[in-house]
Amino acid sequence: MTNALLGQRLRQQRKRRGLTIEQLAEMIGLSKNYVSLIERGQKLSSMATLIKIVNSLHISADVLLCDEVESVSCVVDEELDQRIRALEPHQRKAVFAILDSVIDAIPDLTASSSEDSAE
């Protein structure tokens, strides 16, 4: 992972939360210039700073480090959560109905794959 990629993800998450660089910097106790350098990929934050950042943004470290972390299920969970929350109630109901249908079909799909493999 490059510093630039980490910085891009940080900027994206900060903006998603509706925060300015100044606001985030104040939350984590750093100067806005330092946060700007991290976002531009010119500085790599310390572990302590990274922890302050993810806690302040209320995100999992996986969101910023997904290229380096083997298990990124939290990233997928967060993305699904954000997408579902953005829907109208009737749209959510439809999504859950589709999801239930897919989940119900999984045993059948698994059984078919096992039968095909046995042949």
What is residue 82's predicted lDDT score, i.e. its pLDDT? 82
**Residue 115, pLDDT score:** 52
When comparing pLDDT for 85 and 35, which is higher? Answer: 35
- Report which of 85, 80, 63 is spatially closest to residue 72, judged by C-alpha positions: 63
In this predicted structure, what is the pLDDT of residue 103? Answer: 84
CB distance 35 to 24 below 8 Å: yes
Whether 71 has a pLDDT exceeding 70, the answer reads: no
Q: Is the pLDDT of residue 89 over 60?
A: yes
- DSSP conformation letters of 9-48: HHHHHHHHTT--HHHHHHHHT--HHHHHHHHTTSS---HH
Q: What is the mean pLDDT of the chain?
A: 83
CB atoms within 10 A of CB 17: 13
- For the segment 3-56, what is each residue's pLDDT rounded down to a tens digit? 888 899 999 999 999 999 999 999 999 999 999 999 999 998 889 999 999 999
